[in-house]
Amino acid sequence: MKLWCEHAWLGGPRVATGVVLDIDGDRITAVSEGTDRLLDGAERVSGVAIPGLANAHSHAFHRALRGRTQAERGSFWTWRDQMYRLAARLTPDRYLSLASAAYAEMALAGITTVGEFHYLHHGPGGVPYADPNEMGEALTEAARTAGVRLTLLDTCYLHAGVGREPDEVQQRFSDRTADAWAVRASARRGGCLVRLGAAIHSVRAVAPEEMEVVAAWTTERRASLHAHVSEQPAENEACVEAYGVTPSGLLADRGILGPAFTAVHATHLTDDDVVRLAESSGVCLCPTTERDLADGVGPAAALRTAGVELCLGSDSHAVVDLFEEARAVELDERLATGVRGHHAASDLLAAATRGGADSLGWPEAGRLEPGALADVVVVATDSVRLAGAGADHLLDALVFSATASDVRDVLVGGHWVVRDGRHVTLDVPAALASACADAWA
Ligand SMILES: [Zn+2]
């Protein structure tokens, strides 16, 4: 396959024109710029080609909460009560149809790699299913159905809070011990489009010695390790009270931080926390969820300046649009500081592509270069949002004005998953409507 792209973003501060991508099987084999006419045998790609987007933090089932959590003033914690009501209703079949539809919505938005922070493991009362990984299997099947890559971050979640037993809904999340979590997680398999990683839910839900079991499991497998870190001030306060250090400090003391580790949210950090994370770890920001839940605005510029590789996640799926996540990193920080220009468009798009791929253990994804996976997103430049930008301003227009609706075609591993704005195998709006109705029935 040979694609001739009118424009393409190859990682620098501007888009290139007349870019030819040679693709063999699931890989890009050659990239050349400045070819001003369509080559024989090449398919013309109108618009701008970018690497597949990576959604590094997803809880697929939260998609069914959309529109249902805005009515009352509430807080993060009342939002969580509603999320728990939904979690209590889900069966493996409902989980499969909801995740399939949610991942297909992501494919339409140009997301080709998803990091699923998966903690809904067991049946009601914490009783394991006949296959203890049935819920995780539903997610991997959902990713294959939607045609996207998945890193299943199997999440250890053992306590309601420091030293507190899980409540009734949380029992579905818990393996009771970290060793039992490891036994169950070890029984899982990866496969085509699917890789395995792990997550520590939070310092609330996993004790320090239990974190070490999860970290050892990922080290042994060279797998990605994620954790929710400092999303809410209350989490920091509880951690300081219990352990005398911040969540990042606790993770550092226990040897959890490192190249395989990504801190999700990292909203309420001390200066020392920024330094600790910068020594080796990544950070995943989820701005549309963080604003929806009134979490706050994290120190993204300080983290990036300190050397942290940033990535992005749609988390609760209040919105599934990585262009919106990317620009929110800059725009939210403008509001918080009264200063513009913290992050260049190329840095924000890098976070949405290779930053997420690196965090999820797909270092060969998220870039348009020889040897990379052939995951390509084509964004229309003739939409009302991008028309008139011109090549010189296209990258800024893409990051600061495009929406998921401007994604026209999506290639995953050399196969078209989205063509002309439609998923090639699924009626995605109908699938979402049916899955959400079924989840609440
Ligand atoms: Zn989350």
pLDDT tens track for 310-347: 999 999 999 999 999 999 999 999 999 999 999 999 99
Q: 69 alpha carbon to ligand 1 midpoint, in Å?
A: 16
The whole model's pTM is what? Answer: 0.97
Q: Check the CA dihedral 253-254-256-258 and report its sign.
A: positive
Q: Is 392 designated active site?
A: no
How would residue 78 be classed by pLDDT, with cut points 50, 70 and 90? confident
Question: What per-residue confidence (pLDDT) applies to 400?
Answer: 98
Ligand 1 midpoint to CA 58 (Å): 7
CA 355/CA 357 separation, integer angstroms: 6
**Contact in structure between 435 and 96 (CB atoms under 8 Å):** no
Alpha-carbon gap, residue 113 to 53, rounded angstroms:
7
Report CA(316)–ligand 1 centroid distance (Å).
7
- Residue 185: what are its φ and ψ, rounded to 5°? -65, -30
The yes-or-no verdict on residue 74 having pLDDT over 90 is: no
Residues 156-214 have pLDDT tens digits of 999 999 989 998 889 999 999 999 999 999 998 888 899 999 999 999 999 999 999 99
Strands (E) in 136-238, as ranges, are 149-156, 194-200, 225-229
Measured in degrees and rounded to the nearest 5, phi and psi for residue 55 equal -100, 100
Distance 345 CA to ligand 1 centre (A): 25
Average pLDDT over residues 122-145: 96
- Which residue shows structure tokens 């500081």? 337
Catalytic residue among 315, 321, 347, 406: 315
Catalytic residue of the set 265, 268, 342, 423: 265
Judged on CB neighbours under 10 Å (0-12, 13-18, 19+), 14 is: middle
Catalytic residue list contains 268: no
Least confident range of 61-70, 72-81, 93-102, 361-370: 72-81
Q: Residue 79 CA to chain centroid, in angstroms?
A: 20
- Please name which of 432, 437, 371 lies closest in space to residue 107, comparing C-alpha atoms: 432
Q: What's the token pair of residue 22?
A: 């040679």
434: which DSSP letter?
A: H
- The pLDDT tens digits for 385-431 are 999 998 999 999 999 999 999 999 999 999 999 999 999 999 999 99
pLDDT recorded at residue 243: 97
Tell whether the model's pLDDT for residue 66 goes beyond 80.
Answer: yes
| Percentage of the chain exceeding pLDDT 90 | 91
